[in-house]
Amino acid sequence: MVNAPPIAATDSAWPNRPAHGLHSPAANGLNTTLTLAQPIAVWRAKFTADPTPADKRFGRPFGEKRRQHIVRSNSVESSHVELTDLGPDHVLVLELGTSETDLTTLQKIQHWLDHAADSNDATAAQWVSLPGTQLVWHPRCLVVSATPERSERVCQAALEVMFFAAELQSLEATVDNAWDSTLEDAPLGFEFSTADLPRRSILAQRFQTVCALRTRYARLISQVVVPHVYPPTIASQISERLRERLRLEDRLELTDERLTAQESVYERCSQRCSDFVVARTGHHLEWIIIILLAFQTILWIVDLLSASNGVPPTTP
């Protein structure tokens, strides 16, 4: 399936998050267009931490310090759905009613999403069923079947999970991409030499990168791992179901273990590098002291030889 789009890659609440890779399903010969028997409401959602006055905001702010906003496009009635028509920072939202016809349409859309995306993506379309509410969650598309009074709350809860899932996917990809450099630097945690001194700046930069990833992880986990709401609401139930289906907590735990391993490597490298530099500086000081003592000894010998030959001693 297609990788999750780089939602708010330039204005995310967590800066320095690299954009997700976006691959067009059409390039793989997949069916990216769906034609329905009846038109449905179609609009696009985008996440931003800095909405403009012209943006049409949707729902309430969320995330860390409530700085993240959802902005939306105007809703249009259409019987044609196109995945490739998405921008790199947009999510397609489809809204249906709750009749039997709408449920049949929902099943058709889910089947299409499962076959209109790259099979290399492990994230499958998730169906969440609650009394009076049905939704299909896909990394690039959200399909909601609910009554009008519930639709906004359902969309809000599902889009929030979509944002956090995209953030986690980006973090996982960044941590995985750092393994090659971590394995390359691992031997320096055992032994450090003069030839490795030019790599000090590289090690410092990579250690700072790992610290930045740890910060991103800490900020993300505080938003994903939250207590259950009691009494439960429709929004809280959808959020909890999707977090469980997407295994967000389990994936965060695995990411924590990977970050801990990388931190351990660079802490060892930092300690070896520091010990080597301190020892090297100490050796230089020892050689300076030895040279000074040797020079003083030479002067003392010269004075003794001068005194034995009847020459007045020199003043050191």
In a domain, 145, yes or no: yes
Both 135 and 169 in a single domain? Answer: no
Percent residues over pLDDT 90 in the chain: 28
Pairs from 108-112 (Cβ < 8 Å, separation ≥ 24): 108/34, 108/36, 109/34, 109/36, 109/81, 109/136, 109/143, 110/136, 110/143, 112/31, 112/34, 112/81
Please enumerate in sequence order all residues whose Cβ is within 8 A of that of 199, keeping only pairs 6 or more positions apart, or say none.
185, 188
- Residue 104, pLDDT above cutoff 90: no
More confident residue, 88 or 199: 199
Average pLDDT, the chain: 80
Note the pLDDT of residue 186.
83
Q: What is the pLDDT of residue 226?
A: 84
Question: DSSP string spanning 281-309?
Answer: HHHHHHHHHHHHHHHHHHHHHHHHHHHHT
Structural domain of 95: 25-149
- Identify whether 190 is part of a domain: yes
Average pLDDT rounded to a whole number, residues 72-87: 80
Instruction: Give residue-wise pLDDT tens across range 258-267.
Output: 999 999 888 8
The CA distances from residue 242 to 56, 127, 149, 159, 161, in Å, are 26, 9, 21, 10, 7
pLDDT band at 31 (very low <50, low <70, confident <90, very high): low
Q: Are 31 and 108 within one domain?
A: yes
Shared-domain flag, residues 106 and 209: no
Specify the pTM: 0.76
Reported confidence tier of residue 290, pLDDT bands at 50, 70, 90 = confident
The kind and range of the H/E element at 189 are none
Q: What is the pLDDT of residue 149?
A: 86
Domain match, 131 and 245 both: no
What does the alpha-carbon distance between residue 306 and residue 143 come to, in Å, rounded to a whole number? 103
User: Is it the case that residue 106 has pLDDT exceeding 70?
Assistant: yes
What mean pLDDT do residues 77-99 have? 78
Residue 147 has pLDDT above 90, yes or no: no
Range 104-109 average pLDDT: 87
Say whether both 229 and 271 belong to one domain.
Answer: yes
| Boundary residue ending a domain (149, 175, 196) | 149
What value does the mean pLDDT take over residues 301-313?
Answer: 72
* Same domain as 143, residue 84: yes
Q: Pairing state of beta strands 91-96 and 141-146?
A: parallel
Q: Which helix (H) or strand (E) holds 35?
A: strand 33-48
Residues 132 and 201 in one domain: no
Closest Cα to residue 140, out of 26, 277, 308? 26
Residues 67, 141: one domain? yes
Distance of CA 273 to the CA centre of its chain: 29
- Of 224, 210, 250, the residue nearest 166 (C-alpha): 224
Asked whether residue 202 is domain-assigned, the answer is yes
| Residue 154 within any structural domain of the chain | no
The 3-class secondary structure across 223-271, one letter per residue, is HHCCCCCCCCCHHHHHHHHHHHHCCHHHHHHHHHHHHHHHHHHHHHHHH
Please tell me whether residues 192 and 126 are part of one structural domain. Answer: no
Residue 28 has pLDDT above 80, yes or no: no
Q: Count of domains in the chain?
A: 2
Answer yes or no: is pLDDT of 236 > 60. yes
pLDDT digits (tens, 9 = 90+) for 187-200: 887 877 777 788 88
Q: Tell me, yes or no, whether 35 lies in a domain.
A: yes
At 120, the pLDDT band (50, 70, 90 cuts) reads very low
- DSSP-derived secondary structure letter, 188: G
Same domain, 171 and 69: no
Q: Which phi-psi region, left, alpha or beta, contains residue 107 (left: φ > 0; alpha: ψ -120 to 50)? A: alpha
Task: Count other Cβ atoms within 10 Å, centred on residue 310.
Answer: 6
pLDDT band at 30 (very low <50, low <70, confident <90, very high): low
Residues 6 or more apart whose CB falls under 8 angstroms from that of 71 comprise 45, 46, 48, 51, 55, 56, 57, 58
DSSP 50-93: S--TTSEEEEEEESGGG-EEEEEPPPEEEEEEESTT--TT-EEE
One DSSP character per residue, 144-162 reads EEE-HHHHHHHHHHHHHHH
Residues 88 and 198 occupy one common structural domain: no
Q: Which residue has the higher pLDDT, 311 or 234?
A: 234
In a domain, 39, yes or no: yes
- Start-to-end Cα distance in the chain: 84
Q: Does position 71 have pLDDT exceeding 70, yes or no? A: yes
Residues 188/196, Cβ–Cβ less than 8 Å: yes
275 within domain boundaries: yes
User: How many C-beta atoms surround the C-beta of residue 105 within 10 A?
Assistant: 22
Tell which of 118, 149, 180 closes a domain: 149
Do 212 and 108 belong to one domain? no
Residue 311 pLDDT grade (very low, low, confident, very high; cuts 50, 70, 90): low
More confident residue, 276 or 59: 59
Asked whether residue 310 is assigned to any structural domain, the reply reads: no
* pLDDT at 22 (0 to 100): 43
